[in-house]
Every structure is written in structure tokens, then in C-alpha cells.
Amino acid sequence: MTDERTNERTTERTGPRSGRRSTRNKRRRSIKLPSWLERWPAPARTAFIVLVCLVAVISLATGADALASAGRIHPGVLVGDLAVGGKTVDEASVEIASYVAERSAVPVSVQADDMTWDVTAESVSLSVDATTLAGDAYLVGRGRPSEVIGGRLRALFGGVTVPLALSCDQVALEALVTGINEAVGTPAVDAGVRVEGSTVTRIEPVDGVGVDVGQVRSGVVPAFLSDDRSVPLQLGPVEPIVDADGAEQAYQEALTMVSAPLTLYYADRQWEVPPAIIGDWIGFRRVEGAEKPTLEAYVVPEDLKVTLDPMVAEVGKPARDASFEVSSGAVTIVPSEDGLRADAEDLAVRLTTVLTGAAERRAELTMQRVEPEITTAEAQGMGIVERLSTFSTDFDSSNKPRVNNIHILADALDGTLVPPGGMFSFNETIGPRTAEKGYQEANAIVNGKLVPQLGGGICQIGTTIFNTVFFSGLPVVERHNHSQYISHYPTGRDATISWGGPDFKFKNDTPNWVLVATGYSNSSITISLYGTKPGYEVTYDTGPWTGVIAPPVREVPDPTLPLGSRVVEERGISGRTIVVVRHVKKDGVEFRTDTFKSVYRATEEVVRVGTGEAVPSAPATTTP
């Protein structure tokens, strides 16, 4: 009984399990492959399943990488030698720029023919487009699905390098090449054409020796990122840019241009221009052709203008600037006038066609309006409306050369305009004093002595304008006293000037223009400043004479004078020092104090001392 029950329980426990396992096995066997796949051989099916699994794994990995690299460059991407994986575009851009700046901070050494040049990144304007490079790095592994998977796999397992491209300024590079070739090369000579008068000749091309721009660029630019900073260059033949064939057309054109006279006309006037003058107008310019550059002949507007303007001046009119007239302290504006002259630019273009063509060699002048440099409106806006200060000095009218020089200087100075904030320089305004300008020799103080000098009398003008500026309150930038004291000038307020030496300068510190105006007679000179009064009040203090030094005396024996007699040949002048202080106030407040110290040297006195026979005294008269 026991065994039977036990067997029954056992049968009950095991029976159902066996049934469930059997069901599961049936379910497994019920998963069927697609019919098309079941027809494949077993190895092919296995390979296919493995491939599908691999793609699934890669897709999952790519998806995970995409999530990890969202907004960042994929790991394994480099720009040149710089790893930028995991960075944003902005971060990579900054790092690229910093990397290039650090690497290019050291100059590159260029060697050619035993000479060396240190080339800095700044000298060739070396640059990098860091933003574009960072953007290119970011695009690795992005785009079409094939590019995404392929790019990311290459970046992960082998690395992807974006070339680190640098650029430099073409003009700077050409300048470097020019400098190298000037030092160690022989320049090539382009074929050309020479025109002398009406004679036209060919200039034959000649090969040169040197380096070319391409060689220098390919060597220098990469060297800034290299550990080897030396760039050896090899000299080679340098061909002319324009060969003989390229200059032949220009030669024929030039021959035609000087083959006969030209007639210019305007209204009822006409001028005949000979071939020799036409030759002076001809120039040659390079034209970039499909294969090689060529030359063409043309009329140069600037060269045409040189002979054209005086030739046709009778039908033109020069422009006249607006100017200022002053009288008794009042100032008025003389209006500007437009001018009229031949249009050299337009005529040059038309003459190039006329002179190289087969038509009649005639051309009509076209005239153009010429605006003055200073228009009436501009003069009205300068703020020159009243007199700021004036000063006069007197001189001897009997010294004709000196009077002549003073008048020429005054005329040259009259009408000078100083812009707001601008600097006036006497020497720059007047220029050198030469005989061609009408200056004559007159006495001037040179090294403490009066000697004849072209432009003698300039210090009369210098002293006068210094005092005019002194009382205007404008800043005096440069002033020098004479080497010796001159009593007829204001005490301590003289000024000496010479070309190439001492100058007189002042600054216009007002917001308006300042006009320098002069007037003169045969015995006086007046200089005035006009503008808009800045409200300056000027006072001054003249100190006492100090440091007085008696003049040294030099005795010169003179046998023509009686023994013991003395005659002063050159009067000496004592040395002395004086200080003048100028106080400039505005609205009652002193804002500038100027000290003008004048140190005058003593000049020797020359005395002739008699060494001849003594003059006998008259005999005494006696009365018998």
C-alpha cells in the first residue's frame, strides 16, 4: 500500500513538470527564421546573424557616443598635432589660436647663399582661422549615417586629423622675397619699351637668379609649427615676368603714337603737339593675360598734365581760395572762386585710343571745374572774426638789403593759417632763405658777431611775432634769445631765428583757426593774430638785470696812431641775464605762467692802441 501511494504521488509530481518542459520545447521549436533566410546555407545564416548583432552593437555604441558627445567634438579628433576631442567648438577654437600663437612666437630662420634672415610671425602677418578649423573638427562623425559611423569609428580607434592650415599676407611675403633677392640674387629684367622723344626702342628681357614666392611660402609657413625653425632656400633661375613677345605689341603701339603730330582743340582754339612731346606722355602697364602678362602703351595722365596745363592755360582759370582781409583790427572774407582746367584724366583715355588708331589724330579738350582748397563756406566756419593781439617794431630804413628781406619775410608770413590744436613753426612756414626767393645779404648776428648773411633781418620778424604771440596768451613752444643784448628790442623779449638752427613755435590752443597777418613800411613791421578771442588776460613782470659781465677788451697795436692814443674800433657789450614772467588768466583765474629767461653773452671790445711817434708839443714862446 505504501509503495503504491508513493508511486502515485511521484507520478503526480513528475507528470505535470514533464508536460510543462515539453510545452516549452515545443515553443522554442516554433520560432522560425524567415523563409528566405532558411533557404540560406547554415554558414551564411550564421554570418548574417553575427553581422546583424554587430550592427546592433555598433548602433547602440554610436548612440551612446552621440549622447556622450552632444555639442562636443568626438574623442580622437585632432587639429594638426593638437587633440581637441571632448571640447566644444568655442573651447577648441581658443585652444587652437593659443597653440598657434605659442608655437609661432619664436622667429623662423631663413638661410640663402650664406646669409640669414629672422622672420617673425608678425612680419608676414601669419594667421589661423581657428573657428573654421574647430568647426571642421566638430563635423567629424556627423552628417550622413555612413559618415557618422565611419567617422566615429576612425576617431575612436585610429584618430582623425584635421590639417592645421596657416595663412600669411601675400604682400608681406613678396616683400620678404624681394629683400632676399636684393641681397643674394640678381633681378630678372622684363622685356620693355623705351621712349625718348620720338625714338622708340626695345628693352630685351634678361633672366635673373633668386628665390620665388612659392618656395618661401612652402618653407616658412609650416616652419612656424615645426620644432626645426630653420628654412634653407635654394637660389634658382628667375624668369622675367614679361618676355619679348609680351612687349612687342606695346612697342608697335608706341611707334604709332609718335608717328605724327596731334591736334588738340577747344572752341575756336587749337594746338599742335609734336611727336617728341607725345613721347613724354607715353607709359607702359602690365596686363595679365591668359598665358603670360603683356605690356600695353597708354597716355599717363600725370605726364600729360605737366605739358597740357601751361599749353592750354589761356582757356582755363585757376581756382582762388577764400582769403581774409584785415584793416584797423577788423577782418573780412574775400570769397573763393572756382577754377577751370583741362580734364587730363579724360583726355588721357581718349588720346590712348586716338594715338594708337588709324583715325584722324585730333582730340577735343574737355574742361573740368576746379574747386578751391578753401571755399567761402569753409572760411566762414574757421572762426576768424576778430583781432587777438598785435605788435610792431621799428627798424632803420637806410639799410636797403635788410628792409628788402623784412618785406619778403612779412609777405611770406602773411595769411598763414594755424588750425585748432595746431603748431606754428616759423622755419617750416617760411622755408630756407635763398637768393632765388629774392633775399639779399644783410648783417646778422652769428656767434656773437655781425656778419653779412642772406636773409639778414629775420630776427626783426622773429622778435615781432614773438611779442604778438606773447600778448595773445597763446602757448609759446620754442623761443631763443639773441646771443648778445640788443637795446632797441623789448627788454628780455627778443627772439632769434635761423634756418637749420633756432626756431620760433607757438600752439593754437583755441577751438578756432588763427590767422597771421602782417603789414609793413620802410621803417616798421606789424604782425597781428586773428581768430575768436579765448578770453585770455595777459600781464607780465620784467625782473632786474643780473649776472652783469663787463666786455673783454682786446687791444690792437696800430703804428698809424700816435703813441699812447686809443681808438675804440668795435664797441663791446656787457653780458647779462634777465627773466620775464608772463601771467595768463581766464575769467580772473591764472591758469598758465610762462618764464622766459634770456642770457646774453659779453662781446669783446676792440681798441686800437697807437704805437707811432709821439706828437711833439708846440715850443714855448718867450718875450725878449
Of 15 and 531, the structure prediction assigns the larger pLDDT to: 531
On whether the CB atoms of residues 191 and 240 are closer than 8 A, the answer is yes
Give the N- to C-terminal CA distance of the chain in Å, as an integer. Answer: 222
pLDDT of residue 157: 56
Number of H helices, E strands in the chain: 16, 35
Angstrom distance (rounded) from CA 383 to CA 515: 10
How do 553-558 and 605-610 pair as beta strands? parallel
CA trace torsion 7, 8, 11, 13 (10° rounding):
-110
Residue 4, exposed/middle/buried by CB under 10 A (0-12, 13-18, 19+)? Answer: exposed
Q: Which fold has domain 260-376?
A: Ubiquitin-like (UB roll) (3.10.20)
CA distance 299 to 281: 5
pLDDT > 70? residue 383: yes
pLDDT for 514 equals 98
Widest distance between CA atoms in the chain:
222
Domains 260-376 and 537-615 share a fold: no
Query: What is the percent of the chain with per-residue pLDDT over 70, rounded to a whole number?
Result: 84
Backbone angles phi, psi at 318, to 5 degrees: -70, 150
> By mean pLDDT, which of 18-27, 239-248, 547-556 is the weakest?
18-27
- Model confidence, pTM: 0.59
The 3-class secondary structure across 364-397, one letter per residue, is: ECCEEEECCCCCHHHHHCCCCCEEEEEEEEECCC
pLDDT digits (tens, 9 = 90+) for 554-613: 999 999 999 989 999 888 889 999 999 999 999 999 999 999 999 999 988 899 999 987
How much is the pLDDT for 19? 47
**From the CB of residue 440, how many other CB atoms can be counted at a distance below 10 Å?**
19
Cα-Cα-Cα-Cα dihedral sign, residues 114, 115, 121, 125: negative
pLDDT of residue 296: 96
d(CA 97, CA 104): 11
Question: Are the beta carbons of 193 and 203 closer than 8 angstroms?
Answer: yes
By the 10 Å C-beta count (0-12 exposed, 13-18 middle, 19+ buried), 116 is classed as exposed
Residue 255: pLDDT band (50, 70, 90) is very high
DSSP lists the bridge partners of residue 161 as: 78
- Residue 428: is it exposed, middle or buried by C-beta count within 10 angstroms (0-12/13-18/19+)? exposed
Output 396 or 69, whichever has higher pLDDT.
396
Above 70 in pLDDT, residue 381? yes
* Dihedral of alpha carbons 392, 395, 398, 403, sign: negative
* 344 pLDDT higher than 90: yes
Mean pLDDT of the chain, nearest integer: 87
As a whole number of angstroms, the distance between CA 515 and CA 532 comes to 10
Q: What is the DSSP secondary structure assignment for residue 498, as one 8-state letter? A: -
Place of cell 587730363: 344
Q: Nearest 10 degrees: CA dihedral of 32, 34, 35, 36?
A: -150
DSSP run (H or E) holding 260: none
Q: How many CB atoms lie within 10 A of CB 162?
A: 23
- pLDDT at residue 75, as a whole number: 87
Residue 10's pLDDT is what?
45
Contacts of residue 94, Cβ cutoff 8 Å, sequence gap at least 6: 130
Distance set, CA 221 to CA 82, 127, 130, 217, 405 (Å): 17, 10, 16, 6, 63
Q: pLDDT tens across 84-109, in order? A: 988 999 999 999 999 999 999 999 99
Average pLDDT for residues 160-173, to the nearest whole number?
Answer: 92
The model's pLDDT over 122-151, given as tens digits with 9 standing for 90+, comes to 999 999 999 999 999 998 878 666 556 555
Average pLDDT over residues 12-27: 47
Q: Measure the CA–CA gap between 246 and 139, rounded to whole angstroms.
A: 48
Q: Name the nearest CA neighbour of 460 among 497, 423, 428.
A: 497
Domain definitions of the chain by residue range: 1-30, 260-376, 382-534, 537-615
When computed from its CA atoms, the radius of gyration of the chain, rounded to whole angstroms, is 48
pLDDT at 11 over 50: no
CATH number, domain 537-615, options 1.10.3470, 3.50.50, 3.40.1350, 2.20.230: 2.20.230
